[in-house]
Chain A
Amino acid sequence: MRYAAPTSVAEVVALLGTDPEARVFAGATDLVPQMRAGRPEPGLAVDLKKIDRLMDVSLEVGTWRIGAAAPTGDLTANAALAADLPGLVYAGGLIGSDQIQNRASLGGNLCNASPAADSVPSLVVNDARAVVAGPDGERTVAVLDIPTGPGRTSLAPGEFIVCFEVDRPPARTSDAYLRLIPRTEMDIAVVGAAARITLDGDGNCAGAAIALGAVAPTVVVVPAATEALVGGPITDGVLAAVAAAASETANPIDDKRGTVTYRRQVAGVLAKRAVTEAAGRAGNGGGQ
């Protein structure tokens, strides 16, 4: 294996063009354990952490730009970001230990393409976009369209993510993320559920997005839950419909972390609770 630490996006594009075995990395918190487990080393490991655009977290004209290689510890330490996107920042703070959060990035979490990646449902409910660089320049693509299956993404060879763009939530809007693990810390989600809710001036639901992790080959959205929510007050009956829609959408596998039946049930419970938490914050003014 060779190692390179370029300082610009253009240099990364050029390096990836020279070697088909090249791989970008940020924290290497997925890459190194996979190498230790016997997966082949990349021919060239391209460290993204020396590039400002990949590391910066900034707010510009109503849009957050989160560098794809920024460690999630930089997100949890950013009070303005946490006020705007509390669910996303909370999800970043669930990834591993402090040691891991000083390295783990959103770009790595998404592109490793584990169905259980904790930050991805929150990126999705907040309509996050990925700015992708490659040999043909840069393009912007919805985060939802990046993962295509466990360990697989829609990125073309030579492409990588520079940063994520997330618009500041409108008034009376907030998000939440909940995951179930058998321990308090340091485990992989059995189920994860993210919600983003917008209320109108009367407390009725004016906008809703729900996404689930760890219950399908990729993150999944739950349009039927949005339909149940939008246009009225968030009553117990509506929450029951949200839970039913989430359980219905979940398409999990049986594994040592949980059975299909259990995961479907928990998907419903967590979706309902995430909606309640997001709506509670939205009712208190939300992000702005």
Chain B
Amino acid sequence: MSRIHVSCNINGDDAEFLCDAGESLLDALRDEMRLMGAKEGCGTGDCGACSILMDGRLQCSCLMFAPEADGATIVTVEGIAAGDNLHPLQQCFLEGAALQCGICTPGFLVAAKALLDRNPDPTETEVRYALAGNLCRCTGYDKIIRSVLDAADRMKEEVAG
């Protein structure tokens, strides 16, 4: 069967790839685009390790058919740092020891970015609800939640300058 040609924008760059109709966007990102940040934890929408932003909306790339990306703007974890400068979320995850094995981390970072983009000053409860779609087998969550709250504080200070 002929493969489908997809044109989209990924992390600010125009991108094109060929995919099969039933291929997940997650597989296309990893196998065709060699972007290994998004991970497959479950493949069924439960764990959030595959989280990406498509047209600004947080979604599980394992539930998306790769051809759906045609014409879309995608952000993966590879796109959230500004060049060599880590995003405050990434910096705070490092400083706060918010990861152990790291499988869940790209998904948490993208989901937390989606939260802070729409709500720069979340409460702890809001952070916990916003990250309910992301599972972590290692950390026990607490350090992740603290790190997101720290990043929110840091970003507010940067804005206040």
Contact = CB atoms under 8 A, between A and B. Distances in A.
B73 interface: no
Contacts of A3: 4, 21-22, 65, 67
A73 interface: yes
Interface string B52-93: 000001111011110110100000000000000000000000
Interface stretch (B7-15, B128-136, B149-157): B128-136
Contacts of A99: 45, 48, 51, 58-60, 111, 133
A97 B22 contact: no
A96 B45 contact: yes
Nearest to B67: A3
A57 to B, nearest CB: 15
A96 B22 contact: no
B45 A73 contact: no
Given A5-B67, A98-B114, A103 B44 contact: no
Q: Which of A96, A102, A185 has the most CB of B within 10 A?
A: A102
Interface stretch (A25-33, A195-203, A272-280): A25-33
A156 interface: no
B43 interface: yes
Given A98-B111, A98-B114, A186-B46, A2 B58 contact: no
A49 B71 CA distance: 13
Give the size category of A's interface with B. 20 to 34
Interface in A33-61: 33, 35-37, 41, 45, 47, 49
B147 interface: no
A100 interface: yes
Interface string B105-125: 000000100110000000000
Interface in A84-138: 96-100, 102-103
- If over half of B's interface residues share one DSSP class (helix, strand or loop), that class is named, otherwise mixed; here it is mixed
Interface residue tally of chain B, by bracket?
20 to 34
A36 B43 contact: yes
A29 B63 contact: yes
A186 B132 contact: yes
B58 A98 contact: yes
B57 to A, nearest CB: 4
Contact of B68 (A5, A37, A73): A5
A96 B21 contact: no
Contacts of B65: 3, 28, 45, 47
Interface of B: 1, 4, 20-22, 24, 43-46, 48, 51, 57-60, 62-65, 67-68, 70, 111, 114-115, 129-130, 132-134
User: What 5 pairs between A and B have smallest CB-CB spacing?
Assistant: A97-B133, A3-B21, A185-B132, A1-B22, A33-B44
Given A27-B63, A99-B48, 6 more contacts: A29-B45, A32-B24, A98-B133, A102-B57, A102-B59, A186-B46
Interface of A: 1-3, 5, 27-29, 32-33, 35-37, 41, 45, 47, 49, 71, 73, 96-100, 102-103, 184-186
